[in-house]
């Protein structure tokens, strides 16, 4: 069975999508439609902008979404998913690719999400850190202790793969947790160069703002099951998908469980659609020791 997966923020690079734009008429049409919807030429930033321009949340999210969705939709007959999933922002790409959202509505929601998240980041400073080499339970316990002791907000944010869990929260909370996790034997506790505390309670204002936009958007039954971040499970009910998407901004990304559940129902062929190779690396670790699993990018 074929699973198509879609990356999140952080996969961007200068020049992303240019070859697709130059060689595929359908992709060019979608890129130009995006320029019109967004009200600025995002393609100019994607193709020629510098790293600082591209890493702004309000640019990064629609850029990664656009590259990912165009990659999938321009595959033609080769894009025949038995299931789809996406990491954080990538869930929006997956929903469009599976027909649960129109391209236009998906882009508008991603733009709204990016603006709401940027606003929340500016209002309440926060950060994230990658914890390498500890069991999830150990990281969860330290986050709970730091929060209960009033040393700051910190929660598990991204369950990326075994031995890699990203935490998120206030500057104080994340720093305190990093120190304790190093003492507990973490190989690395690396604070990430991100603009805020994604997938934590500090994103509540952004969630409230995005919820209004999601509730006004029409969702459809997807052509295949969509595995969602909040629980790692397959969903096909449009109303259920919508509610899970609303919860996503302040909930943990349960990517490890998502991939494990895909494999459990027979996924053997994983294709990452979009920039970068981050998801391929995670899936290699999640599927370690299993035979017959192929992982590729496009």
- Looking at residue 52, its pLDDT comes to 85
Mean pLDDT in residue range 229-237 = 98
Span 274-287, pLDDT tens digits: 998 999 999 999 99
Mean pLDDT of all residues in the chain? 95
Residue 94: is its pLDDT beyond 90? yes
Average pLDDT over residues 209-227: 97
pLDDT in tens, 160-182: 999 999 999 999 999 999 999 99
User: pTM for the whole thing?
Assistant: 0.96
pLDDT class for 50, splitting at 50, 70, 90?
Answer: confident
- What's the residue count for the chain? 298
159 pairs with which residues across the strands?
165
The domain 2-122+201-297 is placed in CATH, from the list 3.40.50.920, 3.40.366.10, 3.90.230.10, 3.30.70.1520, at 3.40.366.10
Question: Where do the domains of the chain lie?
Answer: 2-122+201-297, 127-191
What is the CATH code of the structural domain delimited by 127-191?
3.30.70.250
Question: How far is it, in rounded angstroms, from Cα 205 to Cα 211?
Answer: 10
pLDDT tens readout for residues 9-24 = 888 899 999 999 999 9
- Which amino acids are annotated catalytic? 88, 199
pLDDT for 10:
84
- Report pLDDT for 195: 77
Banded pLDDT at 53 (limits 50, 70, 90): confident
On the question of pLDDT at 210 being above 80, the answer is yes
For residue 131, is pLDDT > 90?
yes
């Amino acid at each position: 069975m074929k699973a198509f997966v879609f990356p999140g923020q952080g996969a961007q690079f200068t020049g992303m999508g240019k070859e697709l734009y130059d060689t595929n008429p359908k992709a060019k049409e979608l890129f130009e439609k995006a320029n019109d919807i967004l009200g600025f030429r995002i393609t100019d930033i994607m193709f020629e902008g510098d790293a600082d321009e591209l890493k702004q949340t309000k640019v990064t999210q629609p850029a990664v979404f656009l590259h990912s969705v165009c990659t999938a939709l321009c595959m033609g007959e080769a894009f025949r998913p038995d299931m789809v999933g996406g990491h954080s922002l990538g869930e929006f790409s997956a929903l469009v690719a599976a027909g649960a959202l129109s391209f236009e509505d998906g882009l508008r929601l991603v733009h709204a999400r990016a603006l709401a998240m940027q606003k929340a980041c500016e209002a309440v400073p926060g950060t994230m850190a990658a914890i390498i080499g500890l069991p999830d339970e150990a990281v969860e316990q330290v986050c709970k202790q730091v929060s209960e002791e009033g040393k700051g907000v910190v929660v598990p944010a991204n369950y990326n793969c075994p031995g890699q869990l990203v935490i998120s929260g206030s500057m104080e909370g994340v720093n305190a947790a990093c120190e304790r996790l190093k003492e507990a034997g973490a190989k690395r506790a690396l604070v990430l160069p991100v603009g805020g505390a994604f997938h934590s309670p500090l994103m509540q204002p952004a969630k409230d703002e995005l919820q209004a936009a999601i509730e006004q958007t029409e969702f459809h039954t997807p052509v295949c099951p969509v595995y969602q971040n909040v629980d790692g499970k397959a969903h096909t009910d449009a109303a259920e998908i919508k509610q899970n998407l609303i919860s996503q901004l302040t909930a943990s990304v349960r990517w490890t469980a998502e991939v494990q559940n895909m494999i459990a129902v027979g996924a053997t062929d994983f294709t990452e659609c979009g920039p970068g190779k981050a998801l391929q690396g995670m899936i290699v670790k999640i599927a370690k020791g299993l035979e017959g699993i192929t992982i590729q990018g496009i």
